[in-house]
Amino acid sequence: MVVASPNPNGNEKIQLVDLPVIDLSLPRSVVSKLIVKACEGYGFFMVINHGVPKEAISRMEEESLTFFSKTASEKQRAGPANPFGYGSKNIGHNGDMGEVEYLLFNTDKASIAQRCKTISDDPTKFSSAVSDYIEAVRELACELLEVIAEGLWVPDTSVFSRLITDVESDSVFRLNYYPPTSSSPTSKIGFGEHTDPQILTLLRSNDVGGLQISPQDGVWVPVTSDPAAFCVNVGDALQAMTNGRFVSVRHRALTNSFKSRMSMALFSGPPLNATMKALPEMVTPENPLVYKPFTWAEYKKKTCSLRLGDSRLNLFRTS
């Protein structure tokens, strides 16, 4: 079903599609088939019964909202984001803008503890909430990546997960806060369209909509917000490692006119020296190699000058 667009660009259309919601309490063989199908067809899916403790989620949300409710001058003490720390409006260093405030963390515990000294009046409490949340969600990410490997019939089922458990993993954790835009009758772009460069993203938001995905040009699919679920999406690195079988889909976040929206995202990334290349099982005479091998450091260096919506993986296509 396609309806007239309520979003900022009147030339766009909103397609109403139900994303797959996968119950992780189902038999593992069933879950693996469902996740692989979702990664191939949508690049996005939701998971319930995920095992992340409610306490870890509520503590992280409480600490985050406390920070974002501070005055502008208080929040600025935790910035500017370079790249970690507090940022507002400016997304990265290439001129991208959005109606968003954010905190960005490296996932190393020592780095988190140091960063929290400028974020909270009780840095130990905030640091503990961040570290515990990351640990629980990373465990879920590893489980999903191993289930994916099983579903792809890859003999080494830890081929993806060990990249994010490596002590040199370049994973990052981001808290996005979108203040209400009651002065405007329509939504605004909170975070512009882009793909996630890492392997896998696990995102949770409060009970306020705004996330949209674009499975095809000019069409946007709203993702129903469910605080009990995690939204999971394929990143560029996983698309390359599956030789294009999985799709890293463009997505964006819109603001809400009357309610604030907050999301918490773990971007599961590999070590800088890790080579991203298609698994042998993914390359066949019928499906030849799509992307040249590259290290994660090379990918970041080549794409760092690009704008948010620029295509990144195309720089590494074989033809």
**Pair 15, 4: CB distance under 8 Å:** no
- The rounded distance, in Å, linking the Cα atoms of 82 and 26 is 42
In sequence order, which residues have a C-beta less than 8 Å from that of residue 106 and are 6 or more positions away? 84, 112, 115, 172
Closest of 165, 120, 124 to residue 142, by C-alpha: 165
Bond before 185 cis per omega within 30 degrees: no
**Pair 21, 27: CB distance under 8 Å:** no
Closest of 226, 223, 230, 176 to residue 206, by C-alpha: 226
**Triad 94, 97, 98: Cα angle to 5°:** 150
Closest of 200, 199, 223, 197 to residue 210, by C-alpha: 223
Catalytic residue among 204, 250, 261, 307: 261
Catalytic: 261?
Answer: yes
Tokens, residue 116: 């929290």
Q: How far is CA 184 from CA 96, 181, 188, in A?
A: 21, 6, 8
Point out the residues that are catalytic.
261
